Chain A
Amino acid sequence: FRLSSLIGHISTCPSLIGQCCQRHPGSVDEFQEELVIRPLHSGDIYASFQFRTLWDTDFLQEGQKVSHYRLFPKSLGQVLSKFSVRELHISFTQGFWRTMQWGQPFIPSPPGAELWVWFHDTVSDVDGNWKELTNVLSGIFCASLNFIDLTNTVQPSASFKPLGLGNATDHRFLRYATLPREIVCTENLTPWKKLLPCGSKAGLAVLLKSEKLFHSSFHSQAVHIRPVCQDEQCTSKAWELRQTLNVVFDLYTAGQGKKAFRSSIYLNCGKTGELFELSPATPLLSQAVVLGDRRTYSVFDLTRAETFGQLRSLNLLLRWKGDGGEMLRPLLHAERYVAGFGLQTGEIHTVIYNNHPYRAFPVLLMDSVPWYLQLYIHTLTVTSKSRDNKPSYIHYQPAKDRHRPHLLEMLIQLPPHSMTEVTVQFERALLKWTEYTPDPNHGFYVGSSVVSALVPSMVAMSTNFTQDQPLFSSFVPVKEESSYFVRVYTEPLLVNLPTPDFSMPYNVICLTCTVVAVGYGSFYNLLTRTFQVDEPSLPLAKRLANLIRRIRGVPLLT
């Protein structure tokens, strides 16, 4: 089949906007943007936008007040300094990433909203900072992050290590929360676009048209802030702000961009000419290893004038050559579902697949279950290939009703080419009538499980740090050559709870108090009642006789 590309034109950027993207003298703020287009075997197109702003300020030092913002957005900078945030990762996702059909994403994210933050060691009241931070972010991103409170926040002990600099081991400064019910819409995209240095007026951000982005199977926008080294020797540190947008389209679109520092479009073409034809063909080809997968990418560097040709626009045309090609099977894959029937009990089953043909590796499974599903940890079973597989590390924090959710973290060794099943039973609680959502029969969402692992790679990874590395391969720091870090999110669950009758508060109070009153009334009666023998009333004749007898002084008749 053939698909044609969509062509768009953008007029030259006004000089004012063009300036903001230039290198500012005297500082080393940097901006880099990138778009990776990867056709997927299911006929979809995966487009991943990444925008990176490097901000050369180290406000970890005392006494340095930051007031000059250049490319870095002021709103986020103020948030970072006010709440002493060291790392912040927030994502809004609509749809679920189908790992088996689409492969591994560059930046994984669970459905709904997810927020995890590492605070500095100097913070004394982490919970207070967390609460304020969620409310402020809720305002910045126009999302209902204010629903994040202590009942859905956990402190994972091993799953979310910092992605930037720093060697933190004290998980008291880490907070993780997820809102699986959160919906993403254009209202969230607009403030996200505003955080970019040029907004949506120049650069690849021009391609971010809401109508197209939201007509997609999967849409995820994220903001990741972390401290990074600026060079190999790590002599100076900088704050890195990465804004990523991952979209999976059924149809595809192409686009163009205007000036930026470094602005490139990477097109994953596999073996060129096999899957599709690309025009205009580009002489620039680069190979990158991402997620254990060595692929060839055609690179279009938008900062060079020759990319654009005479019309000052870039049109990409991809022609499919029909079905073909093998997709690399993802080595790690997880699913989750609820088993059982009725509204009293249930079982959560998490299934993790290890598709590596001969290597076993350990995975860290993190589950955060709300308090109203009472987990019974003595029913936890882990089976691989129908044999018991005991986890080597279990960290379990039971829930406290209305205060804290369950947190279960386990390190499980997955045998090669196998399926591991983790099951745990739970009981559903009856909540107070005000604690139900307005649509209680829809059910309650349980956030995705997180499976984190260092997967052995079939291809050697590069641990060198270079400035020229494409953004999509440098998101997660690669520490060793033989394995790469993968995080897989499972489906969120939808669980029904038994409901009381919401129309009945007065009736219930009256009826229950009636029964209590019946008891009380009977008691009162019996406590205060005295018993008297009742003399039967005499017939008239006997009464007269008694009258006479009384006069005479003789004993009376009865």
Chain B
Amino acid sequence: MAAPLTLLLIVAVTIRAVLFRSSLAELISARVEVVSPLNAWKRVVEGLALLDLGVSPYSGDVFHETPLMIYLFHFTVDYAEIVFIVSAYFFRKQKYALESDRYSADCLELLRSPKEMFYIPLKVAMFYLLNPFTILSCVAKSTCGLNNAIIALFIFCTLKGSALLSGILLALATYQSIYPLTLFAPALLFFLQRLYIPVNLRRSSFWFFTLQYAFMYVGSLVVITGLSFFLLGSWDFIPSVYGFIFSVPDLTPNIGLFWYFFAEMFEHFRLFFSCVFQFNVFFYTIPLSIKLKEHPVFLIFMQIAIISIFKSYPTVGDVALYMAFLPAWSHLYRFLRNIFLVSCVLLACSALFPVLWHLWIYAGSANSNFYYAITLLFNFGQVKVFTTTWLTNCEWKNRWRNKVSLFINLY
């Protein structure tokens, strides 16, 4: 297992290194599909330049990273490329480890052949490292890669069973962008399952553990926020980072649904629609947690997918994150409906994004509607991908459950 993984790592690092040194790096750093106002490298450099000039990076509207990120890059700005490759590597390690660890605990997976399962971690690693979306995101030095690494570490620690580390990492992920807050519920459910505590609102053991985990999470979040305050000496970063994420003032086109909607909407309804869109990301947590409480890993996948599609400034790096999970459910491939159609839609949209952008912005022969249409189609395809996965998962589970119970009945 180590040999193929090492080979894979070498190939991935080589591809990234080659692209870093070529002239494509500049081009990719400027693409709106790959970078957003929240995680563009150009803005990180701008924030550092403002800090050098003696002006607070949050006094303007260019910089929207968290203070810890400034200080991380303050020291490593010359080695930024290495930082990003290393984070991709860590992500890989976590993914690999989590896959190899998971299946011993999940009883349903007993029904798959051991040989298949053996290769799943490698497939997950391949899906992530060699995914063109990830490569583009890494070469563009978008801080999305770092956020993905933190989320992967969090999943790894959760699966390993370490509640404290998991809480800390989740707090860090939430601090970077607010949306991983929804991953609290699946992590909690996983720990409860692992510790054999039934999810019963009347049981005190449930509440005891919940409060413990919540305390660790909220505590780390408070500590990290306080640390940011002391680093920069003001609370300016809160409206600049979190206020920016929630109120969506910057309408730079990206692959998400928000930008054109907010550009064309009536001012009177601005607050209403901002609230609706943000609420849309968070409110699926509770029904999904209730429905999928026995399958917290699948729940994590669903939450990450929802965040990637409905967040305010999505990029292809976020898409790559949940796509990397798909090989974990390779047993469903046979049953996925419309998978050919959906994958064609996604491929075609990915190819059309740069074309229609060029036509709008540079050639002037198309207008913003063309790019918007492809955005719509891409998000529709993404929605179809994970609802199909979910549907097939439900069906498959049900089918096997019935077959198993029948099997048991006959004997």
Contacts and interface: CB of A to CB of B under 8 A. Distances in A.
B229 to A, nearest CB: 21
Contacts of B30: 344-345
Contact of B55 (A341, A396, A518, A522): A396
B251 A430 contact: yes
Interface string A14-57: 00000000000000000000000000000000000000000000
A400 B60 contact: yes
Interface in B366-396: 367-369, 372, 376, 379-380, 383-384, 387, 390-391, 394-395
B257 A515 contact: yes
Contacts of B362: 341-344
Given A371-B61, A398-B62, A500-B260, A376 B394 contact: no
Contacts of B249: 401-402
B398 A398 contact: no
A394 B376 CA distance: 45
A516 B283 CA distance: 13
Contacts of B60: 397-400, 406
Contacts of B395: 531
Interface stretch (B41-49, B90-98, B185-193, B330-338): B41-49
Contacts of A527: 287-288, 291
A518 B360 contact: no
A428 to B, nearest CB: 9
B262 interface: yes
Contact of B261 (A400, A431, A508, A533): A508
Contact of A401 (B42, B61, B309): B61
Given A431-B251, A523-B284, A531-B395, A397 B53 contact: no
A398 B264 contact: no
Interface string A367-409: 0000100101110000000000000001011111110001000
A104 B252 CA distance: 43
Contacts of A345: 30
A505 interface: yes
A432 B250 CA distance: 10
Nearest to B284: A523
Given A398-B61, A527-B288, A377 B53 contact: yes
B383 to A, nearest CB: 4
A165 interface: no
Contacts of B259: 430
A501 B55 contact: no
B59 interface: yes
Contact of A516 (B53, B252, B257): B257
Most-contacted residue by chain B among A344, A397, A398, A518 (CB, 10 A): A398
A505 B368 CA distance: 13
A44 to B, nearest CB: 38
B50 interface: yes
A393 to B, nearest CB: 11
B368 A432 contact: no
A500 B368 contact: yes
Interface in B257-282: 257, 259-267, 280
A345 B391 CA distance: 44
Contacts of A432: 251, 262-263, 265, 267
A504 B263 CA distance: 10
B402 interface: yes
A296 B327 CA distance: 90
Nearest to B378: A515
Contact of B59 (A397, A501, A511, A531): A397
Contact of B369 (A343, A501, A509, A533): A501
A322 interface: no
A365 to B, nearest CB: 16
Contacts of B251: 429-432
Nearest to B31: A344
Given A394-B53, A402-B249, A518 B383 contact: yes
A448 B264 CA distance: 31
A516 B50 CA distance: 39
A69 interface: no
B74 to A, nearest CB: 14
27 contacts: A341-B362, A343-B361, A344-B362, A345-B30, A376-B46, A376-B62, A396-B55, A397-B59, A398-B61, A401-B250, A429-B250, A430-B263, A430-B368, A431-B251, A432-B265, A432-B267, A499-B367, A500-B260, A508-B264, A508-B265, A515-B376, A515-B380, A518-B380, A519-B309, A519-B310, A522-B383, A529-B394
Interface of A: 341-345, 371, 374, 376-378, 394, 396-402, 406, 429-434, 498-501, 504-505, 508-509, 511-512, 515-516, 518-520, 522-523, 526-527, 529, 531, 533
Interface of B: 30, 42, 45-46, 48-50, 53, 55, 59-62, 249-253, 257, 259-267, 280, 284, 287-288, 291, 309-310, 360-362, 364, 367-369, 372, 376, 379-380, 383-384, 387, 390-391, 394-395, 398-399, 402
Given A430-B259, A501-B264, A522-B387, 5 more contacts: A398-B60, A500-B264, A515-B257, A519-B309, A527-B287
